[in-house]
Structure 1
Amino acid sequence: MSSVMCRGLRSPIRGLASLRKAQQISTTLVHNETIVVKNNEEFVNKVMNSDKPVIVNFHAEWCEPCKILTPQLRSLIEPLDDLDLAIVDVEDNAELVHTFEVKAVPAVIAVKNGLIVDKFIGLVDAEMITNLIQKMSGKKTEPK
């Protein structure tokens, strides 16, 4: 199986102190939410501490494969009430890029109960995406 990805992230890498500090805060999400992550604290609150599984899409505006994957993930995940989608722009979230060792985009991680349970890098086939969503939500989805 091959995948298409963009290499060469352009964001500087910073320390993890604020991410570790923020891990002590907890919030609950409203169902069917797509979270556009703006900072580390929001990531911890809405992804790592979520009661629901969350699929996290690391992407960049300049990445052509990301322009295909992000809308596909949105269309498959937004209708589900037991799974959320978080979108992380690698240009604006260098600390998260470093923490999760994102070396290329798109990169997708699946988080459940604060743990990474699966991941893939690049633009993969629709079956791999739907299998991940089914694994996380327990529901069958059809590729669009």
Structure 2
Amino acid sequence: MAILHIKNHDFQKEVFESQKPVILDFFATWCGPCKMLGQVLEQLDAEREDVKIIKVDIDENPSLRKEWEISTVPSVFFIKDGEVKDSAVGFLPKPVLEERISTL
């Protein structure tokens, strides 16, 4: 499954109506830790089919940034059955992401 880059109009359907657990990554193209996390998310996406990875560029989606109260990037949310189950701020190494996914 490919990582989805979404905007406002796709958000509800892709995030809250997903049949799979979602890793939601709010990022910025100018952010170093976001780029590092992006590489880890690409590895996870290639290895796992049981989770959907969605990225939201905060500069292209200011209304979502405001709605989700994103003040630091990367900000990652773990969502299952339409509910936020966990969240984290900053770079997360692959083992930490895998552990958080396993608790969903």
Same fold (TM over 0.5): yes
**Identity percentage of aligned residues:** 31
Deviation per residue, 1:94-115 (Å, 9 max, x gap): 1111111111001100111111
Higher share in helix: 2
Write the letter of the residue equivalent to 1:35.
L
1:90 equivalent in structure 2: 58
The TM-score with structure 2 as length reference comes to 0.90
- From 74, 79, 88, the equivalent of 2:47 is 79
2:35 pairs, out of 40, 52, 67, with 67
- TM-score where L is the length of structure 1: 0.67
Structure 1 unaligned spans of 5+: 1-31, 137-144
Name the structure 2 match of 1:34.
3
**Aligned match of 1:119 in 82, 87, 93?**
87
The 8 Å contact of residues 78 and 84 in structure 1, kept in 2 or not, is answered as no
- The code of the aligned residue for 2:9 comes to E
Amino acid at match of 2:17: N
1:85 shift after superposition = 0.1
- Structure 2 regions of 5+ residues with no counterpart? none
1:111 aligned counterpart, secondary structure: strand
Cα RMSD between the aligned structures?
Answer: 1.4
Larger radius of gyration: 1
Residue in 2 that maps onto 1:47: 15
